[in-house]
Amino acid sequence: MSKEKIQYDGETPFFHPFPEAIDVFSGDFAKHEAHFLPLATIDLSHINPDWNGLIPIVTPMEPAVSGVVGEDVPQHHNYLCRDNWIGYHLLEGKVEYAGDWRLFDRQTHEEYYEATQAGYNKAKAYFKEHGCLHSYYGEFRRNGEPSKKVRGELTEPLAWLGEGAARSALGCGLVVFYDREKQLVLTTFNWT
C-alpha cells in the first residue's frame, strides 16, 4: 500500500478547496456557518481505494484565548469535543458538529470571528480568481495511515488523513482523523 504524500496548492479531481457551506454542513446550518469555515472536500477513494464519498474538512473560528480551543470550558466537553479536539459526525458527505455549542463563545469574540471570516473570504476570492491557493495548504496520505492512539479513550486507531495550514493566524495546523466505521471526523491543532 502506497503511503505517498499528496501536496495540494490548488484544485484537483479529488481535492476541492473552499466548498460552499451548504454543501458541507448538516444539521443546524446557521450555527455551523456562524462557527466553522469549510476549508476543502476530499474524495475518500483517493486516500484509500476501498473508501468512497467525500469528506469535508472544516475548522472552527473560535480563538484559543488562553491556550487551546475549548480549554476554558470543561463543563461543555464531551467524548468528541474538548480542549484542542473538535469532532463531527459524517452524514452523507456532510459534517455535523458533535458537541455542545457552548464550547464556543462567539458573543465575546465577535470581532475575532469577523476578522477570521474576512480573511477566509479574501483567501477564497483569491482562489476563485487565480485558481490556486495563496500558500501551501496541506498534505494527505493515501490509504489513511492508521494513527497510534489519538486519545486515551479510543480502543481502535483512527485513520490519519493529514494536516494543513488551517489556522495560520494562530500559528498552528489542523490535523484530521477519520473513523470509517463510526463515520466520525476528528480534528485537533498542531501547535509546533
- With cut-offs at 50, 70 and 90, classify the pLDDT of residue 167: low
Per-residue confidence (pLDDT) for residue 76, from 0 to 100? 94
Task: Determine the Cα–Cα distance for residues 45 and 20; give it in Å rounded to an integer.
Answer: 21
* E-assigned strand segments in 49-147: 54-60, 85-91, 94-97, 138-141
**What is the pLDDT averaged over residues 47-75?**
85
Per-residue confidence (pLDDT) for residue 10, from 0 to 100? 61
DSSP state of 69: T
List the grid coordinates of 151. 486519545
pTM for the model: 0.82
Give the three-state DSSP class for 36: strand
Contact 80, 183 (CB under 8 A): no
Domain limits at 159?
Answer: 5-190
Task: Determine the Cα–Cα distance for residues 119 and 117; give it in Å rounded to an integer.
Answer: 5
**Does residue 169 carry a pLDDT above 50?**
no
Indicate the number of domains in the chain. 1
DSSP state of 147: P
Q: Which residue has the cell 446550518?
A: 29
Per-residue confidence (pLDDT) for residue 164, from 0 to 100? 72
Q: Give me the amino acid identity at 39.
A: L
According to DSSP, the residues that pair with 138 across neighbouring strands are: 8, 164
**What is the pLDDT averaged over residues 43-54?**
89
Per-residue confidence (pLDDT) for residue 34, from 0 to 100? 94
H helices present in 48-151, as ranges: 110-130
Residue 134: Cβ within 10 Å count: 12
Task: Determine the Cα–Cα distance for residues 52 and 36; give it in Å rounded to an integer.
Answer: 24
